[in-house]
Structure 1
Amino acid sequence: MLNFCQYRICSILLINLLIFLSKASYAQVSGSLLIPTVDNALNSRCLDASQTAASVVSLPSGRQIYSHNSLQPLLAASVTKIITTAAALHYLSPEYRFKTLFMHTGQRQGDVIQGDLIIRGGGDPKLSTEQFWRIATQIKASGINEITGDLIVDAHFFDAYDRAPSWEVDRTQQAYDAKLGALSLNFNTISVHLQPSDQVGEMIRTWLEPATPYIQLQNTAKTIHRGKTTVSAYRSPEESLGQVYLSVRGQLPIGSQEKVIRLNIDNPIRYAAETFKAILQQTGVKIDGMTKISYNPVAGQELYYHLSDPLSLILKELNTFSNNFMAEQILKTIAAEKVGTPGSHENGLKLVEEFLQLSHVNTQGVLLQDGSGLSRKNRMTTQAITDVLSSMYSRFDIGPDFITALRVMGANGVLSQRLAKSPARGQIRAKTGTLNRVSTLAGYVATPHGKVFAYAIFLNNNGCGPWRADRIEDRIVNAIHELGDNTIEYTASIAQ
Structure 2
Amino acid sequence: MRLGQWIHTGALLVGLGLLLGGCATTSNTTGQALDQLLADPALAGASVSLMVRDARTGSTLYQHNPRTRLIPASSLKLLTTAAAMDVLGPQYRFSTQLLSDGSRQGERLLGNLYLRGLGDPTIQWADYQALAANLAGQGIRHVQGDLVFDDTFFDAERLGLDWAHDDEDKYYGAQISALTVSPNADFDAGTLTVTARAPLAVGQPVSVTISPATDYVQVNNRAVSGAGNSFGLNRQHGTNLLRLSGALKPGTQSRQWVSVWEPTQLVANLFEQALAEQGITVQGKRVIGGVSPATASVLAEHQSAPLQELIRPLLKLSNNSMAEALLKAMGRKQANVGTATAGVAAVADFMKRQGLDPATLSQVDGSGLSRRNLLSAQSFTDLLLMVSKQPWFSTWHDALPVAGNPKRLIGGSLRYRLRETPAQNNLHAKTGSMGGVSSLTGYITDAGGRRLVFSMLTNNYVVAGARIKALEDRLVIVLCRSEGGA
- TM-score, reference length from structure 2: 0.88
Deviations 1:273-318 (A, max 9, x none): 2112112212333333332122544342211011101111211111
Task: Tell me if 1:323 matches 2:325.
Answer: no
Alignment partner of 1:407 out of 401, 410, 422: 401
Distance, in Å, in 1 between the alignment partners of 2:190 and 2:322 is: 10
AA at the equivalent of 1:391: M
Alignment partner of 1:290 out of 282, 285, 290: 285
Distance, in Å, in 1 between the alignment partners of 2:314 and 2:215 is: 30
Distance, in Å, in 2 between the alignment partners of 1:479 and 1:362 is: 30
Deviations 1:161-220 (A, max 9, x none): 112234357853111111111111111011111001243343221111111132233433
Q: Is the 8 A contact 1:155 1:297 kept in 2?
A: no
**Partner residue, 1:344:** 339
Q: Is the 8 A contact 2:46 2:460 kept in 1?
A: no
> Alignment partner of 1:292: what SS?
strand
Alignment partner of 1:167 out of 163, 167, 183: 163
Deviation at 1:324, TM superposition (A): 1.6
469-478 vs 25-34, which moves further: 25-34
Q: Is the 8 A contact 2:114 2:292 kept in 1?
A: no
Distance, in Å, in 1 between the alignment partners of 2:398 and 2:127 is: 25
Deviation at 1:129, TM superposition (A): 1.6
1:463–1:116 Cα change, 3 Å: same
Alignment partner of 2:80 out of 73, 78, 84: 84
1:25–1:439 Cα change, 3 Å: closer
AA at the equivalent of 1:213: D
**Partner residue, 2:245:** 249
**Partner residue, 1:258:** 253
Distance, in Å, in 1 between the alignment partners of 2:445 and 2:128 is: 42
Deviation at 1:406, TM superposition (A): 0.9
AA at the equivalent of 2:389: S
Deviation at 1:39, TM superposition (A): 1.9
Q: Is the 8 A contact 1:166 1:370 kept in 2?
A: no
1:149–1:465 Cα change, 3 Å: same
Deviations 1:8-28 (A, max 9, x none): xxxxxxxxxxxxxxx998698
**Partner residue, 1:391:** 386
Deviations 1:219-257 (A, max 9, x none): 333333xx2133333335446xxxx443333332322x2
AA at the equivalent of 1:438: V
1:170–1:41 Cα change, 3 Å: closer
1:37–1:307 Cα change, 3 Å: same
Deviation at 1:327, TM superposition (A): 1.1
Q: Is the 8 A contact 1:60 1:393 kept in 2?
A: no
Matches within 5 A, 1:56-455: 56-167=52-163, 172-186=168-182, 187-224=189-226, 227-238=227-238, 244-255=240-251, 257-294=252-289, 296-299=291-294, 300-340=296-336, 342-361=337-356, 363=358, 365-395=360-390, 397-414=391-408, 415=412, 416-455=415-454
Distance, in Å, in 2 between the alignment partners of 1:306 and 1:47 is: 49
**Partner residue, 1:13:** none
**Partner residue, 1:9:** none
1:25–1:275 Cα change, 3 Å: closer
> Alignment partner of 2:465: what SS?
helix
1:34–1:151 Cα change, 3 Å: farther
AA at the equivalent of 2:398: T
Q: Is the 8 A contact 1:48 1:461 kept in 2?
A: no
- TM-score, reference length from structure 1: 0.86
- Give the total of aligned pairs: 456
Q: Is the 8 A contact 1:312 1:401 kept in 2?
A: yes
More helix per residue: 1
Distance, in Å, in 2 between the alignment partners of 1:27 and 1:58 is: 13
Distance, in Å, in 2 between the alignment partners of 1:330 and 1:105 is: 29
1:24–1:130 Cα change, 3 Å: closer
97-106 vs 214-223, which moves further: 214-223
AA at the equivalent of 1:408: V
Q: Is the 8 A contact 2:111 2:145 kept in 1?
A: yes
Distance, in Å, in 1 between the alignment partners of 2:42 and 2:53 is: 26
Deviation at 1:464, TM superposition (A): 3.6
Task: Tell me if 1:475 matches 2:474.
Answer: yes
Q: CA RMSD in A?
A: 2.3
> Alignment partner of 2:157: what SS?
coil
Distance, in Å, in 1 between the alignment partners of 2:140 and 2:323 is: 36
Distance, in Å, in 2 between the alignment partners of 1:220 and 1:91 is: 49
Deviation at 1:454, TM superposition (A): 0.8
Distance, in Å, in 2 between the alignment partners of 1:120 and 1:366 is: 35
Distance, in Å, in 2 between the alignment partners of 1:196 and 1:190 is: 19
Distance, in Å, in 1 between the alignment partners of 2:446 and 2:10 is: 21
1:140–1:297 Cα change, 3 Å: closer
Distance, in Å, in 1 between the alignment partners of 2:9 and 2:266 is: 65
Deviation at 1:433, TM superposition (A): 0.4
Distance, in Å, in 1 between the alignment partners of 2:160 and 2:203 is: 44
Distance, in Å, in 2 between the alignment partners of 1:39 and 1:24 is: 15
| Identical residues among aligned pairs (%) | 29
Q: Is the 8 A contact 1:60 1:394 kept in 2?
A: no
AA at the equivalent of 1:460: N
Deviations 1:2-46 (A, max 9, x none): xxxxxxxxxxxxxxxxxxxxx998698884443222222121111
Deviations 1:373-412 (A, max 9, x none): 11111111001000000000111x2212221221111113
139-148 vs 89-98, which moves further: 139-148
Q: Is the 8 A contact 2:161 2:370 kept in 1?
A: no
> Alignment partner of 1:407: what SS?
coil
